[in-house]
Amino acid sequence: MAAGLNDVVALVEQNRTAEIDFLRALIAAQRAGEDAVQAIVSERLAAIGAKVENIAYAPADVPLVGEFAANGVIAEGQRSSVVGSLPGDGSGRSLILFAHPDSEPVNATEKWKHNPFDGIVEDGRLYGWGVADDLLGVAAGVCAMAAVAKAGVMPGGTVIMASTPSKRHARGVAAIMSQGFTADAAVYLHPAESGVGLNEIKAFASGQLEFCITVLGQKPPTTEPGHTAFAHLAINPLDKGFVLYSALKALDEKRGAEVCHPRLQAAVGRSTNIQVSNIVVGQNQKYSRLHRTCIIGWAVSFPPTERMEDVQAQIIATIETACAGDDWLRDHPPTVEWISGVTGMEIAEDHPLYEVVSGAVTAVTGVKPSVNPMHTSSDIRNPIVQKGIPTVGLGPFCGDLTQIGQTDEWVDVEDYIKMIKVTASIIVNWTRAP
């Protein structure tokens, strides 16, 4: 490491108690909500000499490229991103660090063994609501910027730390970019859910579509409460739903054979999937009655080499062909509702940003990281898809995320400190490089 960088990394180690306490403060503030967390972030960024701006926005109004979401799934109300900027000397490249301060809605806290807002440290793990998703990312970015500033190491280009809402299509990082914040590269400070921490870098994200199909049927011509004896006179929407199910599963198999990406093929042996995840029809314990509608929910993953619009068009064409071959569906076509969609992205391992990040991880941990391509719909997509800003992501070892129904969410304390060192190293090495 260069002398200046050595000083920065040493400062991180010296200040580890304060860095842990800062993360614990964010966890405690989580009880009062996102605004309380953002207030602490804003205050801390100002204290280290950053120019702090609070960017208010409405998620539904953020302009997007290659992405959409239905109004019912977009976070409602006005949100706020906190952006802290440290100017460089103009000799190098600029950088955006971003993470999200919003967590899953607070509920079922009585199931936790550790108080979710006390930031308890036990056996090397720090527990707290939202700590891994993604308060530690916010804390790591702020603490890394603080270490660089305190060490007196002038970045070559401007460094931006953005605490930006993300969950439920909050679109925080897209919002700040739409208002003019930009850089030569971006790093998403967020751990993966793969359990290997800093041993991997997020440099690949598949795209994803979610949609549902509503199929109409016809009840039998009877006023009897039981329909079973008349079932042959009805059109069961579930039967017609399976016509579409079969057509889309056939498309799934076709795409699985034809759509190939080397990273995905090497990781799981397949590059795309069409998954049925939900079927709603009828009424529980009313088994002798037929209902008029069947709703089938789907999700599709696709590699960055495919355009989202092309995948949508392929699905619609498959549904239309299936309907054309069925007497009932031909005259009673189903309704397709697109719920959400995002475009994938990837960064090559020989890209300068990847090389800087990989080198920083290797220097701090002693282990050269690899790429895990199984991060469908990751927020690393946003800067590159929206504004062409190359982006990677990384984060420390963590687990039991509330997002997936677990309790006692935690982060490994030593890996969190290493994360700050890595982030500080990225700031110095990326911005001061020629």
Q: Where are the domains of the chain?
A: 3-205+344-431, 207-342
Tens of pLDDT along 165-222? 998 888 999 999 999 999 999 999 999 878 899 999 999 999 999 999 999 999 999 9
Asked, as a colleague might, if the bond just before 35 is cis with ω within 30 of 0, I would say no
Q: How many CB atoms lie within 10 A of CB 314?
A: 17
Q: Enumerate residue ranges in the chain where pLDDT < 50.
A: none
> Rounded to the nearest 5°, which phi and psi values hold at 259?
-95, 115
3-class state of residue 315 by DSSP: helix
Beta bridge mates, 275: 299
- What is the per-residue pLDDT for 434? 62
Alpha helices for 282-405 (secondary structure H)? 308-324, 327-331, 352-365, 381-387
- What is the per-residue pLDDT for 306? 97
Residues 259 and 303: beta-carbon distance below 8 Å: yes
pTM (two decimals): 0.93
What separation in angstroms does the CA of 419 have from each of 41, 43, 48, 247? 18, 22, 19, 47
- CA 27, CA 415: separation in Å to the nearest integer? 18
3-class state of residue 153 by DSSP: coil
- What is the per-residue pLDDT for 357? 98
Three-state secondary structure of 377-430: CCCCHHHHHHHCCCEEEECCCEECCHHHCCCCCEEEHHHHHHHHHHHHHHHHHH
Report which of 326, 338, 337, 331 is spatially closest to residue 240, judged by C-alpha positions. Answer: 326
Q: Calculate the average pLDDT of the chain.
A: 94
- What is the per-residue pLDDT for 73? 85
- What is the per-residue pLDDT for 3? 54
Fold for the domain defined by 207-342: Alpha-Beta Plaits (3.30.70)
Q: Alpha-carbon Rg of the chain, whole angstroms?
A: 25
The CATH code belonging to domain 3-205+344-431 is 3.40.630.10
Tokens of 62: 């953020």
- CA 45, CA 144: separation in Å to the nearest integer? 11
